[in-house]
Structure 1
Amino acid sequence: MKSQLFGVSLGCSLLVCISAFYSSSDDVIELTPSNFNSEVIQSDSLWLVEFYAPWCGHCQNLTPDWKKAATALKGIVKVGAVDADQHKSLGGQYGVRGFPTIKIFGANKNKPEDYQGGRTSQAIVDGAMSALRTLVKERLSGKSGSSGYNRQSGGDSGGSKKDVVELTDDNFNEMVLESNEVWMVEFFAPWCGHCKNLEPEWAAAATAVKEQTKGMVRLGAVDATVHQGVSSRYGIRGFPTIKIFRKGEEPEDYQGGRSRSDIIARALDLFSDNAPAPELVEIINEDALKKTCEDSQLCIISVLPHILDTGAAGRNSYLDVMMKMADKYKKKMWGWLWTEAGAQMELEASLGIGGFGYPAMAAINTRKMKFALLRGSFSDTGIHEFLRELSVGRGSTATLGGGVMPKIHTVEPWDGKDGQLPEEEDYDLSDVELDDVTYDKTEL
């Protein structure tokens, strides 16, 4: 059954290849990493932005309604579109995992809202006007519509302010050099025009990076005109200067672009390079499953053969395959779990694993209660192909049995040893005189 995982439409055909859905003659504004900040983030207007992929059939179906809505809203609400297949960094910045995804950029441009309405032109216009009324009410009430962080003036300028850590001569060693996190640090001067241009990009990137790396990569800022000790230590001569700090290593000059998408992409690479492989958790109770999956977009669950069938060496070989794949996909921050065949029968039944034998693997989106089964081999190649297909929105998925997580039983964790057959109870038959036993033939 074709369904959805990660909110990705599996109706999108790979055979369809369209370079772009919109042209300059349309009222839909084509957005890219080079113009997104100036057009959307720094704009006072309300924006509706569609993130699409040219090969996606549902995106193609939406196009005429999106154009019609853009024409109806012209001069009132701005309507844009991003080819997120081509500009993956821009889509990733806003957590886009399925197509089409529509977001509303209102008062706080750094925290857009997901559009949840219908996909007809009328529904889109209605949703836009509702969002516009909300924005106007907020402005009437005196709520600020600004975004980013205002480090030069020191004022509160939105939700992202706290995600950029203010670094000083006094706290730099403790916060950065002695930290286990990776740091990207901007050295700025309040009078620097390039620093002011970077400010909203740095603030937006800080928020995205904090969320996507769970705080393992941090963004900080040093006013080099005030904190000259730490600035001179690292030879800061121009502004803004960005350096990367890893514990126990010499700082590295950041050589990338200055847009938020560039900054986020580099931060995610740093996270991937330095993050440990995720823990491989045995499902011994409900808490083990819940704790691992609740904060993960996807949980990868393997059902391994009984220990009597493989022994410790065989089981460890399967676990090694899982660990290798967990390390390969650690940037995804998925949860990885395993259980022994027969230990969690309700879970196996809800996934339909029984008919495929062991070892088996399933990928579960616990938020959407969707799952997909590994149909190939339980090997590096087979699992990699399975996960890669899911990552780009392909593959067959189904609804988890009943639409709820099955009952999880509390079991003893594996002790790492070979299994042992249960000892048979010895029966003393010395006192039984079999010759004296008679049977009534009518009972046979």
Structure 2
Amino acid sequence: MELLQGVLVSALVITVHGFYTASDDVIELNPSNFNKQVLQSDSLWLIEFYAPWCGHCQRLTPDWKKAATALKGIVKIGAVDADQHKSLGSQYGIRGFPTIKVFGANKNKPDDYQGGRTSEAIVEGAMTALRSLVKDRLSGRTGGSGQSKQSGGGSGAGDKKDVVELTDDNFDRLVLNGDEVWMVEFFAPWCGHCKRLEPEWTAAATAVKDQTKGKVKLGAVDATVHQGLASRYGIRGFPTIKIFSKGEEPEDYEGGRTRADIVARAMDLFSANAPPPELHEIIDQDIFKSTCDDSQLCIVAVLPHILDTGASGRNSYLDVMRKMAEKYKKKMWGWLWAEAGAQMDLESSLGIGGFGYPAMAAINARKMKYSLLKGSFSETGIHEFLRDLSVGRGSTASIGGGALPKISTVEAWNGKDGQLPVEEDIDLSDVDLDDLGKDEL
């Protein structure tokens, strides 16, 4: 009996912690092997980021295995348990499960896989990506490894120019007086640990520059040359990494030394220091399209007519949205709202209106999918809705018409209470009401 229980427990552990074993042709990836296996590889990779509890991921598993077997020796098929290895998921902006990325010529900028989820569709998508990669190599547009020819970095890991060389002369100006958040490595050229960190630091610098648009920077100080800086910050061993945020005391970096670990910490710093996203009223096509195109998800609310709520009621709804935008600012989603009836094509394409107002939907413009808020339009209700979406639990539907709806150009709300239309006065002085009554009789 005890033996049987042990077997069942072992099986349960395997089920919870991973879908793939050493006997599968799917290569399990993690922060320890990702850089060497993928980023330094000349191969084309299709990589699934999954969570063991995700039902869609469970259904994908047999097809992912079949595709891996069919593509063995041609295209590499990998899988990352992003629930366990959150640093890798964060590094590549994984917001839902399963997410499939194509790592081709430029390993620092993988493409989203947009094909079907059957084994046949996966194989076809992989071969299409492979043909494109080979065509680019023939035309000389790629360096043939995980980096461009212009990168100048080693091991296909990034561009050395993205690591800012910091000195006694420029440190205060760039780091202490700048608006960016800095991660600074203090190193010694003879230090073996520093040499091993260098390619990881370089790769992370390029990734962080791209993903934060320069708001978080990675720098390096040769502490044997700039001993004044090393002394000022109490550097005793190498490499030492410190975090500098404007107006705050420097903080010791205690995380891992892989590219994934460094990028994950940088993204946390970026999110913590970023202002909440703006909440825009949908008044024309440009605002709607740019917000939804630039964000993985755009959260759209349709609020009651101003005559139904007045300014105070509308502002209370907008305040709830602003609080949620602040709470979820790390996701870098877009936030929009419209008045009921002002954007009828939008309401129709999202199925809004059947549940009354206010209503809310989350739109994925890349996949032309949306999900509707079924709970209350409150901090609790919206939090539960967005939390489920962020971990891949929300139900979705296709946007009506298969394209983003046409947006009407309307005047922006002036922040005031609504006014009823002025009724036209009718002059009845020339009308003999008695005669009208006689005619009717």
Amino acid in structure 1 at the alignment position of 2:29 = L
Task: Please give the per-residue CA displacement for 1:21-43, whole angstroms capped at 9, x wherever unaligned.
Answer: 22234444432222323443345
Q: Does the 8 Å CA contact 2:47/2:78 hold for their aligned counterparts?
A: yes
Q: Does the 8 Å CA contact 1:202/1:260 hold for their aligned counterparts?
A: yes
- Are 1:21 and 2:15 counterparts? no
Question: Partner of 2:275 in structure 1?
Answer: 276
Distance in 2 of aligned mates of 1:188 and 1:135: 40
Shift of 1:65: 5.4
Question: Partner of 1:143 in structure 2?
Answer: 143
Amino acid in structure 1 at the alignment position of 2:365 = T
Distance in 1 of aligned mates of 2:352 and 2:128: 47
Query: Which of 17, 28, 31 is equivalent to 1:30?
Result: 28
Look up the SS of the partner of 2:387 in the other structure.
helix
Structure-2 change in CA distance of 1:49 and 1:154 (3 Å): closer
- Report which stretch shifted further, 416-425 or 318-327: 416-425
Structure-2 change in CA distance of 1:182 and 1:372 (3 Å): same
Query: Which of 82, 92, 95 is equivalent to 1:94?
Result: 92
Distance in 2 of aligned mates of 1:270 and 1:49: 26
Structure-2 change in CA distance of 1:17 and 1:178 (3 Å): same
Shift of 1:64: 4.7
Structure-2 change in CA distance of 1:195 and 1:18 (3 Å): same
Look up the SS of the partner of 1:355 in the other structure.
coil
Question: Partner of 2:245 in structure 1?
Answer: 246
Q: RCO higher in 1 or 2 (8 Å CA, sep ≥ 6)? A: 1
- Are 1:378 and 2:377 counterparts? yes
Distance in 2 of aligned mates of 1:222 and 1:70: 44
Task: Please give the per-residue CA displacement for 1:94-124, whole angstroms capped at 9, x wherever unaligned.
Answer: 2334444444545544344555667537964
- Mapping 1:288-367, distance limit 5 Å: 288-367=287-366
Look up the SS of the partner of 2:322 in the other structure.
helix
Q: Does the 8 Å CA contact 1:148/1:161 hold for their aligned counterparts?
A: no
Shift of 1:269: 2.2
Larger helix share, 1 or 2: 2
Q: Does the 8 Å CA contact 2:370/2:399 hold for their aligned counterparts?
A: yes
- Report which stretch shifted further, 345-354 or 227-236: 227-236
Structure-2 change in CA distance of 1:63 and 1:193 (3 Å): same
Structure-2 change in CA distance of 1:138 and 1:192 (3 Å): farther
- Mapping 1:112-123, distance limit 5 Å: 112-114=110-112, 119-120=118-119
Question: Partner of 2:82 in structure 1?
Answer: 84
Shift of 1:426: 2.4
Question: Partner of 1:216 in structure 2?
Answer: 215
Look up the SS of the partner of 1:356 in the other structure.
coil
Distance in 1 of aligned mates of 2:279 and 2:160: 36
Task: Please give the per-residue CA displacement for 1:40-64, whole angstroms capped at 9, x wherever unaligned.
Answer: 3345665554433333455445545
Shift of 1:75: 6.6
TM-score, length of structure 2 as denominator length? 0.82
Structure-2 change in CA distance of 1:233 and 1:20 (3 Å): same
The number of equivalent residue pairs is 426
TM-score, length of structure 1 as denominator length? 0.82
Structure-2 change in CA distance of 1:178 and 1:149 (3 Å): farther
Q: Does the 8 Å CA contact 2:40/2:156 hold for their aligned counterparts?
A: no
Q: Does the 8 Å CA contact 2:42/2:144 hold for their aligned counterparts?
A: no
- Structure 2 residue runs without a partner (length 5+): 1-13
Please tell me the root mean square deviation across aligned C-alpha atoms, in Å.
3.6
Amino acid in structure 1 at the alignment position of 2:248 = E
